Amino acid sequence: MTGLHPVYLISGEDDAKIDAWRARLRKRAEEEGGPGALETFDARETAPDALAAELATLTFNPGTRYLLADSVQSWKAADLEPLERAMADMSPDTVLVLIARGKVQARLQKAVQKAGGEVRAYEAPKPWEMHKWAIARAKEEGLTLDSEAAKLLVASVGGGQQRLSREIEKLALAAHPSATLSAEELQDFTPAESMRSAYDVADALVAGDGQAALAISERLLEQDEHGSKLMYAITRRLRDVHKAASLIEQGLPEQKVAASLGGPPWAAKKVIARAKGADRRALEHAICTFAELEIDLRGGGTTGLEEDTAFSLALTKAAAG
């Protein structure tokens, strides 16, 4: 026996955990039976009765047989009967793993439990819980992120678990031997180029350094970022800096300016620092340029340019002041 249950039903939206499950299973199967030992099926192409027939097939494999069926959420409950029978009568040296994205049929869950199997659901963290997920993921890499640092990381790279996971791996390597990162350290952490964010593009624009803005944005575009996505973060930063500059000009104390900006104090401090030397007219010109870009990207313009090209041109125009 393998010490495993005969059947597993893995479901949910947490791609990272589900992918980890799949990888572990493949590794174990290949360690025991060599390359290709994991028999995989796509449930969208393999009906439950076909999988049941596979389970009943005799093999010459002397060890444990591992089968993986992905996307079983596509099966209809009414078609499950042959598989239910097959699972109830499985060979003792067979492990079947069923993976479902999202919700899974109650009938399939019952059948798995009846066959002595295990049902595990991995729900994806909600957007507001993502920073907690990032903290936990960083811990797996031996890195301690405080809450603000995790929030900053999520804000910088977005809420996609795969992307976050990659960034955390890079950060853990880059921060070594340090095992802890605060928000400020993370913000100043430059070795990992991917940590360059749309905010850096905005900051370069604020500083009047158009060349730097273009260079950073080119690198971001090379990393599969898209102009439309970058544009939102850039304009948000530009508007924050403009607001801060305007309030400072009106003689408001920095504390009040920070309060009116909202967000974490360190972020407000950074915005205020940028605002002090900012040219408000140039900022307004840049904001108007990006507003025009958005109209263009949403089909209201006349340029008909491809997204990233339109973005780069708008950036050049915004930088020209």
Partner 1 sequence: MTAEAPQLAGTEDHPHARLVLGSALASGSPSHAYLFHGPPGTGKRTAARALAAELLAEGEDDADAARTRALHGTHPDLTWVRPTGAHVMRVSDVEGPVVAAAGRTPFESKRRVFVLERVDTMNDEVANRLLKTLEEPPAFVHLILLTDQLGRVLETVVSRCQLVRFDPLPGERIAEMLEEEGVESGRAHAAARLSLGNASRARFLASDEGMALRGEVERLVFDALGAIHMEEPWRGLLQRAEERRDAAESAVDERKRERLEQEPRGRERSALEREFDETAKRDGRRARTEILELGLELAALAFRDLVAASSGADGAVLATDRIADLASAASDRDPVRLRQAAEACEDTRSSLQLNVTEELALSALTFRLRELVGS
Residues that bind partner 1 (CB under 8 A): 232, 235, 239, 242-243, 246-247, 284, 287-288, 290-292, 294-295, 298-300
Nearer to partner 1, 93 or 294 (CB): 294
E-only strand ranges, the chain? 7-12, 38-42, 65-70, 94-101, 118-122, 144-145, 180-181
- Can you tell me the distance from the alpha carbon of 321 to that of 301, in angstroms, rounded to the nearest whole number? 21
If the CB atoms of residues 124 and 234 are measured against partner 1, the closer one turns out to be: 234
Taking the complex as a whole, how short is the minimal distance between the CB of residue 240 and partner 1, in angstroms?
A: 11
Rg (CA), the chain: 26
Q: Which is nearer to partner 1, 239 or 269 (CB)?
A: 239
Minimum distance from residue 207 beta carbon to partner 1 (Å): 20
| CA distance linking residue 34 with residue 27, whole number of Å | 9
- Smallest gap from Cβ 235 to partner 1, in A, equals 5
Q: Is 189 exposed, middle or buried (0-12, 13-18, 19+ CB in 10 A)?
A: middle
Rounded least distance, CB 257 to partner 1, Å: 11
Quick one: which of 179, 111, 178, 108 has its CA closest to 142?
179
Pick the closer one to partner 1 by CB: 65 or 237.
Answer: 237
Joined together, the tokens standing for residue 300 give 């209201």
Quote the least distance from Cβ 243 to partner 1, whole Å: 6
Q: Work out how close the CB of 302 gets to partner 1 at its nearest, in angstroms, rounded to a whole number.
A: 13
| Residue at token pair 């893995």 | 10
Contacts of 159 by beta carbon, 8 Å cutoff, 6+ apart: 127, 130
194 CB neighbour count, 10 Å cutoff = 16
Residue number, 56 or 295, with CB nearest to partner 1: 295
Nearer to partner 1, 140 or 284 (CB): 284
Tally Cβ neighbours within 10 Å of residue 193.
Answer: 12
